[in-house]
Amino acid sequence: MSTFAMQFIDGKWVDGKSEKELSNYNPYTNEHLFTMYSASDEDVDAAYKAAKRAQKEWGQTLPSERAELLNEVAKIVEKRKDEIIDWLVKESGSSITKATIEFGAALNIIKESSSFPYRTKGQIMESDFPGKENRVYRSAKGVIGVIGPWNFPFHLSMRSVAPAIATGNTVVLKPASETIVTAGSLIADIFSEAGAPDGVINMVAGRGSEIGDAFVEHPIPKVISFTGSTEVGAHIAELAGKHLKETALELGGNNAFIVLEDADLDQAVDSAIFGKFLHQGQICMSTNRFLVDERIYDDFIDKFVERVEGLKSGDPTEKETVIGPIINKDQIERMEKDLDETVKAGAKVLTGGKAEGLVFLPTVVRDVTNDMPLAKNEIFGPIAPIIPFSTEEEAIDIANDSPYGLSGAIHSKDIHRATELAKQVETGMIHVNDQTVNDESHAAFGGEKASGLGRFGGEWALDKFTTEKWVSVQGVRREYPF
């Protein structure tokens, strides 16, 4: 516990140099977990300089050494599974089911990344000049700054950390202030235990309002990877753009779940329950809007409400619990405001609709239109607004009438029909006869429009964290026109 309440810089656990403190609380019990000194701009500078020193050597290591480190990290993660899940439950309010899913996703990212050292390939190309050979070398970009979120903290931080280190980069990680351990300290500790050289991974914890700009604008990092809100992501992109830094941004979503009239309703409802209520809906990919053909609207709602009313809410340490706590009171108040305004606009609450402490009961709202707050705004909570539509064209128009474009889902027994419609939804990811919360370590993960820039996962992560250099070799004397 005392180790996790410190910064990790150049292989050492140290107190932050700021006079300000960060306190960590269990969102369900309000238990005080620890208090630590925040990182200062000086700590950020020290971490980036340590990463830069380490990268010179780490970037030249054999692929077998980097693969071996990632394989060892995977072994340690598996060994410390219970500890990781316990921290996810008590620090981020994860249910045991959600924490177990997150653990598995993070482990898959590590295993996928362990293959990257041998997949980092250049190429040799022909030339139009006699005796010339064109070579393209691929190498690490250098130092990567990673800003981790609070909702899937272990997985979404590891999603950038593991591939960055595997491809020869070094990392400075800044966790969300609500999840210092699971988005930061645990990851640094695991890599350290696995034998990562000093400076390969560094962790600085501090509020974004205090060290966030310095973290992004520092001259050393070549890429800033961020997962979080669109508002913060836009600010990061603006700061990075001033300094011509590359970004990898996975931001907010307003994901549409479309149910056509020929859908298997039981399958659609099962998908809808998972896609909406996993981690209380606090996932960028969570279903935000349910678009249901008016011919089956009432039937879908009846089945959906019956399932929702059977979901257990409360203590996330109990295995049966599906709906645990919202991360903080501000999020509760924001949801209550949007729900109240949506009801005043004519929608009807069918079940739920209130909070018990920080546990917001699973809520279903019918007769929603796309201009109501629950449909316009990212909910990030266990509220399911259901919107009727009459034609396929109307469904696509509603789905696309949003500044976001992260994930989506379409249900139909006609897979070709659903796939053709899926192509028309302006989103980076969409899933036929499934739900919106999908993440596979080898697939392209990312959004369109205000949902982000770039892609994570597999070869797309490999591309993000490496750069290419063209080296031409003139093997014979070249003749010039003057």
The CATH number of the domain holding residue 98 is 3.40.605.10
Do 237 and 134 share a structural domain? yes
Residue-range definition of the domain harbouring residue 412? 255-432
pLDDT of residue 2 exceeding 70:
no
pLDDT of residue 3: 76
Structural domain contains residue 305: yes
Structural domain contains residue 477: no
Structural domain contains residue 25: yes
Contacts of 227 (CB under 8 A, 6+ apart): 147, 148, 149, 156, 157, 159, 160, 249, 250, 251, 284
Do 231 and 115 share a structural domain? yes
DSSP 8-state class, residue 330: H
Contacts of 11 (CB under 8 A, 6+ apart): 50, 192, 197, 198, 199
Do 271 and 216 share a structural domain? no
396-412 tens-digit pLDDT? 999 999 999 999 999 99
- The total domain count for the chain is 2
Q: Is 122 exposed, middle or buried (0-12, 13-18, 19+ CB in 10 A)?
A: middle
Phi/psi for 268 (5° steps) reads -65, -40
Distance from C-alpha of 407 to C-alpha of 445, rounded to nearest angstrom = 9
Do 187 and 102 share a structural domain? yes
pLDDT of residue 1: 46
If DSSP codes are grouped into helix, strand and coil, which group holds residue 206? coil
Q: In the predicted model, what is the mean pLDDT of residues 205-214?
A: 94
What is this structure's pTM? 0.95
119-171 tens-digit pLDDT? 999 999 999 999 999 999 999 999 999 999 999 999 999 999 999 999 999 99
Do 202 and 119 share a structural domain? yes
58-88 tens-digit pLDDT? 999 999 999 999 999 999 999 999 999 999 9
pLDDT of residue 21 exceeding 80:
yes
Structural domain contains residue 482: no
Structural domain contains residue 438: no
Q: In the predicted model, what is the mean pLDDT of residues 179-204?
A: 98
Structural domain contains residue 421: yes
Structural domain contains residue 479: no
Do 374 and 277 share a structural domain? yes
Do 275 and 165 share a structural domain? no
Tell me the pLDDT of the chain averaged across its residues: 97
Q: Give percent of the chain with pLDDT exceeding 70.
A: 100
Do 207 and 62 share a structural domain? yes
Do 43 and 89 share a structural domain? yes
CATH number at residue 308: 3.40.309.10
Active site residue 250: yes
419-473 tens-digit pLDDT? 999 999 999 999 999 999 999 999 999 999 999 999 999 999 999 999 999 999 9
- Start-to-end CA distance of the chain, whole Å, equals 71
Q: In the predicted model, what is the mean pLDDT of residues 17-41?
A: 96
Q: Which of 91, 102, 246, 250 is catalytic?
A: 250
pLDDT of residue 43 exceeding 50:
yes
Which of 372, 369, 373, 286 has its CA nearest to residue 326?
286
Structural domain contains residue 478: no
Do 406 and 366 share a structural domain? yes
pLDDT of residue 174 exceeding 50:
yes
375-393 tens-digit pLDDT? 999 999 999 999 999 999 9
Do 109 and 140 share a structural domain? yes
228-241 tens-digit pLDDT? 999 999 999 999 99
Do 361 and 306 share a structural domain? yes
